Structure 1
Amino acid sequence: MRLLSIGKHRFQNLNSSARQGDLCPPVDQRFAPREPLPQTPKRAAIYDFLYGLYEQAGERLPDLHHSSSNKRPRRGALKFDEKTMDRTQLRWLPPGKIMDYLRLCRQEYPDMNISSKLFASVWMTDFRDRLRIRAESHHSTCTTCVKHRLIIRRLPRGPGRLAQVSLYKAHLARQYRDRQVYWSHRSKSRTEATSGAPVTHCSLIVDGMDQAKHCYPKSQAVQAKEFASWSRPRLQATTCIAHGHAIVVGLSPQNTKSSGSRTLELIAYMMTKPLNHIHWSNCFLHLEADNATKEIKHQTSLRMLATLIGLRRLRGCELNFLSSGHSHEDVDAHFSLTSSYLDRHPELWCIEDFHGKGPYRLNQFCVLLTSLGNNRPSCNMV
């Protein structure tokens, strides 16, 4: 046993096999290839549930590869990820625990006694390279999701917990229907942009980026200890993506008021300059933004769009607001690429470096909004 470094039970099996005169020793089942597990009704139900989560609640967050958000069931040989694993299809669920999603699965299939071991086994067998739970502090969390999860954890088993689980599931289904509307507008805009036919629908999504990414002056000398307590000014960055057409990034100094008028100034610039090939009198505009008054959810946007429609400069417009905490879409993926692109330029000393010779001069439009008074950009749509 010591020479072969084997255990007592393995030694007894080999000893009894040799005494019986067997030509071949018994196979060690730990290292023998196993057949795939049979597809039982329980496994099929868990697979359908996890696939529904992947399609409905999963979010693509490309900037998560820099963080430690890697929560998923970890058991046995699947405790660690393989270095060669394909991560291109990974999606992240809202912050929570494995037990929260197990309760959702049990509520969807109340007639089945689904164990946590089987749930984790299906997750790590079929969805280990596709489904993870994101970190608590990476993005803003939906208030409704937090409320339902906290109530579910504090309630004992019974009708109350089942009612809260059903409400939580209905909330996730509602935000998924909101995304389906946005995805349909986005696909229609991209299809018309590449078809060569006249553009009749255009989808724009507007969102603001983290101001810490645009602190200036940006230099390696600022990393010294003498500048540790130095508060640097931050540029206000707002990105507007016209799917299939162009991307415009608006940068403003820290002393410029960041209000809804500034956002509409950027939208007007987008419609006048980069998208001047579109006949807006025959085009329907779909505007998407967060469920916040900073972007386009205010009376100023309604007045501007109503004026354009009344003057027949625009055929029609629709404002759509994604649920707060569930709006991590392609604009957030663009923020990740922008952050990576800013890291390539270690020396950016003033505002003009970001705008003129900095990272925004190569692959996208950038407008520098110095003020919103008399020196505003010439936007014919306003």
Structure 2
Amino acid sequence: MPGQGPGGIIFMQDIDVLTESEPEADRPSCQASRKRKRKPRKKRPDSADPLVLQKMLAKPCDKKCKRDCRSCFRQHAAFQELLKFRQKWKGLHKLDQDTVVFQTMQKFHDKAVENNCPTEWTFLGRPVCFRSWLRLQNLGGGRAARLWKAVRSGSSGPPCDLRYLKKAGVVVSDKVANVTSFLSRIYESVAETLPDVRDELGDVAADVREYNFQLDAYAMALQEQEKKKQVAAGEKSEDPAQGKPTEKVKRSTFRSVTVPVERTPAGGGPEPRSLPPGQMLEYFEQYKMEVGKDAAVAFPTFWKVWKRDWSFLTFRPVSLHKECTQCVRHKALIQELGQHLHARAAAQKLYYAHLRAQFLDRHEYWACRGRSRLRGNEISLIADGMDQAKFSVPRHPQIRAAAFDTWIRPKLHVSVCIAHGYHVIVGVSDADLKKDANTSIEMLSHSLTKLSHSGVKLDESHINLQCDNTSRELKNNVCLRWAASLISAGILGSFTLSALRSGHSHEDIDQFHGSLAKFLVRCRIVETAQDYVDKIHSWLQSVPRPFEAQRVCLKIDQTRDWPLA
């Protein structure tokens, strides 16, 4: 470093002084800046977990506290009381917790001022020190200090914690509300309740591919983008076995979408329903056609609203039930007309008109069902049979053995008849008894007999029979001749046979079938047909159907030949 000596002579400092400084390569400012690897934040332990409470109670109090304040809570009764308090405390909002703590501290402070003594702390009626009171109350030191300061200063309420206040001025867009309205109409009109359970004891299981939001095209694209961002940011881990860097595992949920608990079936939300096999993009095109291109949102917003508020609305697997022929035809036509905008719009209108028409058909059945539950002069019946794969006998875990591969397990026939507002009848028949119109008419005759015995005047009533769109059971001339004979004999006032469109005929009786199938899966050992009857009868008594008080399951040994009768 240059300097100036006496006489204005400029000289250089000793070279040894310069060599004592750090080289440029070793200086921290010259090193290449490396981005710190973000460490995952550890989750706080559950405050209502019994194991967490036991560990907390096992620790001693503060060193200044000579008495063991937490020992009284190690007893069973006090521990259960503490656990119940923690569970209730966990359900409160942070601001509500601050209010409760502030009022409790205020009582302790007023009592100490009134008696002119130090503050005495009690928790659940037991004296404790201040440190133990904080731990038992699940309070942090800083939070408790702010509340105690407000109490001593004479404040009328706790200081407001701005972290837990909702942001002001957040207004839901009208376009997002239109998406919710559209999905609500789809849920009520097109979606069907179709729980499906397959027998796991030797029956042939079909190759079922269920729709999963994680396998959605848009969801997979988001995962790929997130993965690229992580790789670009250096978020990689090394495989200790091979010494090669591996990509960070992406978690299954997305940070941008959080499903509210109240919108899930477990949290008391709507029941899960299934749409016909398809893709979300098809309904997005239908949504744009309904609201118009100017008022429509982008597909990412449509996808987020569906995944966040309508996660219980899924697509039905392809191989379970037949799809509507008209729906397949309209979808294929819309797909082929991708390059012709006007023709594609016209095809979409026809498809939407078809969905609207099937919804109106379903609405007629719902109206008739509601009038029947009022127990007037109109009675709504719905009858259908179940899948035989769920009623193979015998059912036993040992059937999986190779010695039973050549054995043929007979499959029982099960039919259900629901008289809305009156009763539910389940009939079980052997495999050698035909499941045709005779069995269905036998079930209907038994149902009408029970209605007559319960005081219903059938000669003044109108019977509306809802059946499946198939000619094997009820949609045939045999059933119509049977109904005509009852009307001509004066037993029935009038009779209507109704059937929904093919591919859209699944209704509440299919939901009943699915619930019964789920119950039968838990029955691991069923040896005879009578065992099925007994188990189904016991299950019927616990089914939550408030309008149908009478429930019965019976064994059908033989049927009449109704065409000859």
TM superposition score normalised by structure 2: 0.55
Query: Structure 1 residue 100: deviation in Å?
Result: 0.7
- Greater relative CO, 1 or 2 (CA 8 Å, sep 6+): 1
1:268 aligns with 2:445: yes
2:393–2:528 Cα contact (<8 Å) kept? yes
1:320-353 Cα deviation digits (max 9, x unpaired): 1012222222111111221122234332222232
2:471 match: secondary structure: coil
* Change over 3 Å in CA distance of 1:312–1:156 after alignment to 2: same
* Change over 3 Å in CA distance of 1:358–1:39 after alignment to 2: closer
The equivalent residue for 1:286 is: 464
* Change over 3 Å in CA distance of 1:133–1:64 after alignment to 2: farther
1:343 aligns with 2:521: yes
What is the CA–CA distance in structure 1 between the aligned matches of 2:169 and 2:414, rounded to whole Å?
52
1:285–1:318 Cα contact (<8 Å) kept? yes
What are the equivalent positions in structure 2 for 1:175-194 lying under 5 Å apart?
Answer: 175-192=358-375
The equivalent residue for 1:365 is: 552
2:425 match: secondary structure: strand
The equivalent residue for 2:338 is: 156
* Change over 3 Å in CA distance of 1:304–1:142 after alignment to 2: same
- Structure 2 unaligned segments of length 5 or more: list them: 1-32, 39-164, 200-207, 223-253, 541-550
* Change over 3 Å in CA distance of 1:299–1:205 after alignment to 2: same
2:277–2:315 Cα contact (<8 Å) kept? yes
2:176–2:297 Cα contact (<8 Å) kept? no
The equivalent residue for 2:255 is: 77
The equivalent residue for 1:46 is: 179
1:97 aligns with 2:279: yes
1:211–1:235 Cα contact (<8 Å) kept? yes
1:290–1:322 Cα contact (<8 Å) kept? yes
2:428–2:553 Cα contact (<8 Å) kept? yes
What is the CA–CA distance in structure 2 between the aligned matches of 1:34 and 1:106, rounded to whole Å?
31
What is the CA–CA distance in structure 1 between the aligned matches of 2:532 and 2:395, rounded to whole Å?
10
Report the more deviating stretch, 295-304 or 274-283: 274-283
What are the equivalent positions in structure 2 for 1:1-382 lying under 5 Å apart?
Answer: 5=37, 38-63=171-196, 68-71=210-213, 74=219, 76-77=254-255, 86-87=264-265, 88-89=269-270, 90-112=272-294, 114-125=297-308, 127-157=309-339, 158-192=341-375, 199-273=376-450, 276-277=453-454, 278-355=456-533, 357-361=534-538, 363=540, 364-373=551-560
2:180–2:305 Cα contact (<8 Å) kept? yes
2:334–2:348 Cα contact (<8 Å) kept? yes
Aligned-residue RMSD, C-alpha: 3.1
Query: Structure 1 residue 177: deviation in Å?
Result: 0.5
2:196–2:517 Cα contact (<8 Å) kept? no
* Change over 3 Å in CA distance of 1:63–1:300 after alignment to 2: same
The equivalent residue for 2:45 is: none
1:174-199 Cα deviation digits (max 9, x unpaired): 1111111111111111122xxxxxx4
What is the CA–CA distance in structure 2 between the aligned matches of 1:82 and 1:283, rounded to whole Å?
47
2:197–2:517 Cα contact (<8 Å) kept? no
2:347 match: secondary structure: helix
* Change over 3 Å in CA distance of 1:78–1:326 after alignment to 2: farther
* Change over 3 Å in CA distance of 1:373–1:46 after alignment to 2: closer
* Change over 3 Å in CA distance of 1:49–1:65 after alignment to 2: farther
Amino acid paired to 1:234? K
1:254-277 Cα deviation digits (max 9, x unpaired): 222221122111100111136521
* Change over 3 Å in CA distance of 1:38–1:330 after alignment to 2: same
1:121-160 Cα deviation digits (max 9, x unpaired): 33234x3344322222233322221221122222223222
Amino acid paired to 1:279? K
- Structure 1 unaligned segments of length 5 or more: list them: 7-31, 193-198, 377-381
2:358–2:501 Cα contact (<8 Å) kept? yes
What is the CA–CA distance in structure 2 between the aligned matches of 1:153 and 1:37, rounded to whole Å?
39
Query: Structure 1 residue 82: deviation in Å?
Result: 7.7
What is the CA–CA distance in structure 2 between the aligned matches of 1:312 and 1:336, rounded to whole Å?
37
Amino acid paired to 1:144? Q
Q: Which has the larger radius of gyration?
A: 2
What is the CA–CA distance in structure 2 between the aligned matches of 1:291 and 1:213, rounded to whole Å?
22
Report the more deviating stretch, 344-353 or 212-221: 344-353
Amino acid paired to 1:265? E
Percent of pairs with identical residues: 30
* Change over 3 Å in CA distance of 1:117–1:345 after alignment to 2: closer
Report the more deviating stretch, 138-147 or 199-208: 138-147
What is the CA–CA distance in structure 2 between the aligned matches of 1:210 and 1:284, rounded to whole Å?
30
Amino acid paired to 1:102? F
Report the more deviating stretch, 40-49 or 244-253: 40-49
Query: Structure 1 residue 41: deviation in Å?
Result: 4.5
The equivalent residue for 1:10 is: none
What is the CA–CA distance in structure 2 between the aligned matches of 1:77 and 1:275, rounded to whole Å?
60
2:257–2:304 Cα contact (<8 Å) kept? no
Query: Structure 1 residue 305: deviation in Å?
Result: 0.8
1:63–1:333 Cα contact (<8 Å) kept? no
What is the CA–CA distance in structure 2 between the aligned matches of 1:139 and 1:36, rounded to whole Å?
47
Query: Structure 1 residue 36: deviation in Å?
Result: 7.9
What is the CA–CA distance in structure 2 between the aligned matches of 1:64 and 1:143, rounded to whole Å?
25
TM superposition score normalised by structure 1: 0.80
What is the CA–CA distance in structure 2 between the aligned matches of 1:274 and 1:340, rounded to whole Å?
29
* Change over 3 Å in CA distance of 1:318–1:84 after alignment to 2: closer
Query: Structure 1 residue 224: deviation in Å?
Result: 1.5
1:156-176 Cα deviation digits (max 9, x unpaired): 232222222111111111111
